[in-house]
Amino acid sequence: MRHDARFSTRPLTGLCLAAACMAASIVMAADPPSSCRTLRTMARVRVALGQYDKAQTLAEVALRQARAIDAGDEELALCMLDLAVVYQNRDRLVEARDLFVEGVALQRRTLWKHHPYIAYSLRMLADVYRQMADFDAAGRTLDEAIALLGRTHLPNDPAMWMFQVDRAKLLMDQNLLDEAQAILDPAVEALRNAYGSDHPCTADVLRDRAVLRLRQGRWHEARDDIDESRRFQEHGLDVYAMTLVPAWLIEVPVYYAVGPNAEAESCLLQALEAVGEDHDVVQGAGLREKIARIGTEAQYASASRTAAGSSDW
């Protein structure tokens, strides 16, 4: 059974946010530069909860304040990057791209030229380019990020594999499935060895490979990956339900690949329930539309395969 941690995390989250707000009001009055950092921290909490509308307000105030008080290039860069993450999650991709570009430029001015923070920021920028279907820019930016991280990390470091997984996702978006598989298979093994199967990083990559295998028609193997990816939810990791919605939306078409499926229906219902709580109207409507579309497409594909007798189960 899926581990649902909403009931255990939400009271604690509320207390943490209340304490953060009280601390923020004190810090802002006494130390404006520290208040920027406090606002960014509060925004990151909201991002972790999937509350991007509330995160946006906090991150925008932090950036305006950093500019107004001349907080310095390093703090200004962090404010830009945090707001870029929020905009990316709200599908404001052009604004996210521009803030990432500006933030990386500031990081290059203030950090050591081979600092891994720059590599991580470039990786996030590459993902925005990928979402915008600007695959050339995404590839160039990701190549630069991987080369930069390689200055401070060994090739088999788990962090390097996560960057390579982003390359596999870029290849998948271009329908280069064999090339993507050549990256994802060793990435899964490396992360299993480094973290175990019940770790969120391993789970994320297993879900990426499940999407690949589904597109390759390898439905049984796709389901194996999904089943393994759920271990981190079931073995005591306390997670907020909204953070699981992307995972559930990946699981739906995999489970439906063999026909009507109770697990797929459960994923859809839990995703809808999570979206119905703690979200602004626009974001909630967009997510509900996406959930409905994925469910309909998965059911149609399942019915088509069943009618054709093409299931390999």
pLDDT for 80 equals 98
Q: Which residues contact 218 (CB under 8 A, 6 or more apart)?
A: none
Which token pair is 153?
A: 């990390």
Distance (Å, rounded) from C-alpha 51 to C-alpha 180?
Answer: 32
Collapsing DSSP states into helix, strand and coil, what is residue 72?
coil
**Burial class of 212 by CB neighbour count within 10 A (0 to 12, 13 to 18, 19+):** buried
- Provide DSSP, 129-166: HHHTT-HHHHHHHHHHHHHHHTTTS-TTSHHHHHHHHH
Domain coordinates of the chain in residue numbers? Answer: 26-152
Which segments in the chain show pLDDT lower than 50? 1-15, 18-20, 22-30, 236-238, 310-313
Q: Compute φ and ψ for 106, nearest 5 degrees.
A: -70, -40
pLDDT for 5 equals 36
pLDDT for 25 equals 46
Q: Tell me how far apart the 2 most distant CA atoms of the chain are, in Å.
A: 70
Distance (Å, rounded) from C-alpha 208 to C-alpha 230?
Answer: 13
- The alpha-helical segments, DSSP class H, found in 49-115 are 52-68, 73-89, 93-110
Q: Compute φ and ψ for 101, nearest 5 degrees.
A: -60, -45
Q: What is the pLDDT of residues 47-100, one digit of tens each?
A: 888 789 999 999 999 999 999 998 899 999 999 999 999 999 999 999 999 999
Options 3.30.70.270, 3.40.47.40, 1.10.490.10, 1.25.40.10; CATH for 26-152 is 1.25.40.10
Which residue do the tokens 């052009």 mark? 94
pLDDT for 202 equals 94
pLDDT for 275 equals 63
